[in-house]
Amino acid sequence: MSDRRTPTRLVATVIVVGTLLRVTIAATIGMGVDESYAVVVARTPSWSYFDHPGLSFWIPGLLARAAGSENAVLLRAPFILMFAATTWVVYRLGARLFGDWAGAYAALLLNIAPVFTVAFGGWVLPDGPLDLFVAVAVLGLAHVFFAPGRNPTESRLRSRRSPSTRPSSFPSAWRCSWSRIVMPGARSPGPVRPPPCASLR
């Protein structure tokens, strides 16, 4: 392209600008109620906590003890970096499923949404790690189920035509798997019957 505005360049710009914006917000706005709660509770190490996943407490707790400070910018920094990584993963997910520009626009829209770009993307909240690992998991599934450049709608329609993926086959398959897991050695006092999966082809 003559203007060199490639999708990757757009996503990189979004990540840099968004990160600078979140660092500025972290330096000018103090911690909210949820963030203060997380930081205070994280002072006591524990394998689990009452109402949040442990990771969102372990990160600020370990960082505060290592640095000897509970500075807002310091404790928010890992969450800002995780959202930058989330932006890139969303870009790669969209690019794999629908093309590079679709992925770039998805990353841009993610950063435009205020709740993501400000709260989830820069505050000490469980949503930061959650968003990142959910995006990574979905990208991994996309690599497993969709070949590069293949439209997922087309793949889904093709799978519906396959006899092995018809909805009528699922209940029998579930019953067969469940019987093998729960009752691997069960014996029936009556006549022996073939398992439900014996009729599957």
pLDDT, tens digit (0-9, with 9 covering 90-100), for 61-118: 999 999 999 899 999 999 999 999 999 999 999 999 999 999 999 999 999 999 998 8
Domain residues for the domain of 108 are 7-153
Residue 83 within a domain: yes
| C-beta separation of 20 from 13 below 8 A | no
Residue 29 within a domain: yes
| C-beta separation of 22 from 122 below 8 A | yes
Alpha carbon distances (Å) from 174 to 16, 145, 163, 168, 170: 48, 21, 16, 11, 6
Residue 120 within a domain: yes
CA distance 6 to 104: 9
Between 100-112 and 72-98, two packed helices, what is the crossing angle to 10 degrees?
Answer: 150
Alpha carbon distances (Å) from 153 to 32, 106, 116, 157, 160: 42, 18, 27, 6, 11
pLDDT digits (tens, 9 = 90+) for 132-184: 999 999 999 999 998 665 555 555 545 555 554 444 444 444 444 444 444 44
Residue 192 DSSP one-character state? -
Residue 181 within a domain: no
Residue 184 within a domain: no
| C-beta separation of 57 from 38 below 8 A | yes
Tokens of 109: 């829209």
Residue 144 within a domain: yes
Output phi, psi for 29, to 5 deg.
-115, 130
Residue 172 within a domain: no
Q: What is the pTM of this model?
A: 0.70
> Count of domains in the chain?
1
Residue 168 within a domain: no
